[in-house]
Amino acid sequence: MGRFAYLMEGNLTRNGIKGGKLTLLNRVCQSFQRLLTTAVREIDIAGQTLKIHALGEVYDSLTGRAFTGSWIWDSALLLSRWLATSQFDLRDKSVIELGAGAGLPGLTAALLGASRVLLTDIAPLLPGLVKNVEANELEDRVEVRELVWGSEESLSRIGELRRFDVVLLSDVFFDLEEMAALGRTLKKVSGNKTRILAASEVRFWTGECLNELVSQGFKVVEVPIQEDGSDGGRDIFAVYNIIPPDEEDCHNNMSGSIIRR
């Protein structure tokens, strides 16, 4: 629906129709989005059920395009399942999810025993995250905060800034121009023993995004997985252990190989 709104806006602009009619179109598209794209999914994780609201009505008011973070991506499902089935111990850990979107991996961490989980994303996506926290009655352990990658001011707003035990990322290796800011943020929230775990669909540009992190001193190791996360499709998915600079010897004995894609 966001794509429909964007195309319609473009057509009207090219035809010289602006102002009030374009504003009216935006309102119509917004209403149509709310009717069609709000959904609730129940996802089984480690014998428990998470309720996730996918809110397609969260859109960019300038372009009319829906924010893709409103949806549940296969990478988020893959990371959540990996956390639930691997030997990785989340009990009593502090966890932050960057670019959380609908918050599935972070909520999974809370189910698996994390003592504190912080879900972060841009401001328009925060109400959806709050709704998902409340729907799963995890307010005692899960917080929601705005965090813009690379922004010192934004980092200062996430409360008591400290190093987290675990950083979670899913499907964030998309825009090469955002990787420098992501790297700076990762360095701010990571400490000596922090584990940074990222799941991603492997696309043509994924390697370039990871190489940008490598250029900042991170080491990227692909973690063996039992499933590809594609639900039978032909897409390729991967889970990565991203080791902060100068901390290669503290990666919790995870086996894997440096990314070559």
Domains, the chain:
68-258 (3.40.50.150)
Q: What is the pLDDT of residues 46-85, one digit of tens each?
A: 899 999 987 666 555 555 565 666 678 899 999 999 999 9
| Element containing residue 218 per DSSP (H, E) | none
Residue of 200, 202, 220 lying closest to 210 (CA atoms): 220
H-run or E-run covering 15: none
CA distance 89 to 48: 17
Which tokens hold the place of 239?
């889970």
The answer to whether 136 touches 121, Cβ cutoff 8 Å, is no
Residue 175 makes CB contacts below 8 A (sequence gap 6+) with 209
How many Cα atoms sit within 13 Å of 224 on the Cβ side? 7
pLDDT for the residue 259: 47
Return the axis-axis angle of helices 2-14 and 20-37, rounded to nearest 10°. 160
pLDDT in tens, 145-162: 999 999 888 887 776 657
pLDDT, one tens digit per residue, over 163-204 is: 899 999 999 998 999 999 999 999 999 988 899 999 999 999
Of all helices (H) and strands (E), which one includes residue 189?
A: helix 179-189
pTM of the model: 0.78
- Tell me, what DSSP letter sits at residue 229? S
The string of pLDDT tens digits covering residues 72-125 is 889 999 999 999 999 899 999 999 999 999 999 999 999 999 999 999 999 989
H-helix or E-strand containing 95? strand 94-97
Residue 141's CB is within 10 A of a number of other CB atoms, namely: 16
- Picking from 71, 59, 81, 74, the residue whose alpha carbon sits closest to that of residue 103 is 71
pLDDT of residue 242: 97
Q: Please give the Cα distance from 173 to 86 (Å, whole number).
A: 23
Residue type, 230: S
Return d(Cα 169, Cα 174) in angstroms, integer: 12
- Whole-number Å distance between alpha carbons of 34 and 1: 10
Q: What is the mean pLDDT of residues 33-43?
A: 65
